[in-house]
Chain A
């Protein structure tokens, strides 16, 4: 990012190639709609391009990038009248994930396990889903997730534990 800030266009292309897939999936799973995901994804990168001259490396680039994306997702939630950071979402989910029939038709072509798992991820409470995706897609550590979300390390651990329990339950139901 520093190289891009100093005028090297190739540096941005390398960054984009490294993070485009993970970031896109993070946004897609968080907002649930491909159209919104496209819009949010583009916004995140455009904001990054516009703010390149103000960029100061204070953390790992991926931490910075996912923080920008998270802020954009929160804005999106607010626009929809929802709250991503609802404390009630930290509670252990008891409701089962949505059945595969409710998912878009294209996903039916995938294996049943994959479809069910993705449906289970999308049905997780937002904060648990966020923690899970930041680890899986952003490859962030517990500390980095805590930094991005502004939560404590143990809180993040707890969210992840709840998310895993629910997802494992979904997978076991399939066997």
Chain B
């Protein structure tokens, strides 16, 4: 046992590199490879690095594809956000080309019902706000109801002098607003009929107050009439074939031609005027151009 320990000790000493044998060996053994070998090996290592396939790190390998993917994701997210923005939708709506010019225009329009609905919804909301304001104003007779109370202005392009091309395809959507316009007119009429709290000052009758009361009532009646007219026009436009419907213009042209052929000139003129308002960019057939010129309509401007 003790012999084993004595035998173990030099080994432990050697393994710890404290042995005199180790130091003697290190002093004695100083051989080095020849310089020629060094140069050959180092040159080969450099050559291999230059010519061999260079392995690149993870970051360098995946950095570019990852960056491209991130940019793509961001771009898609931004585009989707823009699509949802009602302002952008309204802007796009106004840029839609006229229906009569190309089929591509019709395709674009048919692919954008959501944007049109959004825009119409926004206008309806505005119209409701304006109606509410009009109601409030009617309560205070000293404040006259101004032009912003015009329902046609707020509700949408019911029958504008020259409707914008993008608005023509909204007829089916806007027809849903017609009852609301009628309801607004009814509410205005009820307000006119109902005694105003301001117009009946308690215990006193002031002549100016009575005069302003009657003036306000007249204005409210006028407003109710305008709202009725707007609702009627909406119903009419909803009933009429839409400009977005293929063949709608042709059908109306045929109707106009029938009016003129049967001698109903007044009806023909009225239908032609409406047609030119609805289809300002439509190229009229030869037979109707004369009537349009007689009526001073510039339905299909030639370039």
* Residues of A participating in the B interface, judged by any CB pair closer than 8 Å: 4-9, 12-13, 16, 20-21, 24-25, 28-29, 38, 41-42, 45-46, 49-50, 52-53, 110-111, 113-115, 117-118, 121, 135-137, 141-142, 157, 160-161, 164-165, 167-168, 171
Contact = CB atoms under 8 A, between A and B. Distances in A.
A12 B34 CA distance: 18
A95 B198 CA distance: 134
A9 B29 contact: no
Contacts of B11: 157, 160-161, 164
Contacts of A29: 29
A164 B14 contact: yes
Q: Is the interface of B mostly helix, strand, loop or mixed?
A: helix
Interface stretch (B46-54, B77-85, B259-267): B46-54
B247 to A, nearest CB: 70
A53 B52 contact: yes
A38 B33 contact: yes
Contacts of B67: none
- A interface, over-half SS: helix
B48 A115 contact: no
A21 B32 contact: yes
Contacts of B57: 6
22 contacts: A4-B49, A6-B54, A12-B45, A12-B49, A16-B41, A16-B45, A29-B29, A41-B33, A42-B41, A45-B45, A49-B45, A114-B29, A115-B28, A117-B25, A117-B28, A118-B29, A121-B25, A141-B15, A164-B10, A167-B21, A167-B25, A171-B21
Interface string B37-61: 1101110111011001111110000
Nearest to B33: A24
A137 B26 CA distance: 9
Contacts of A41: 33, 37
Contacts of B44: 45-46, 49
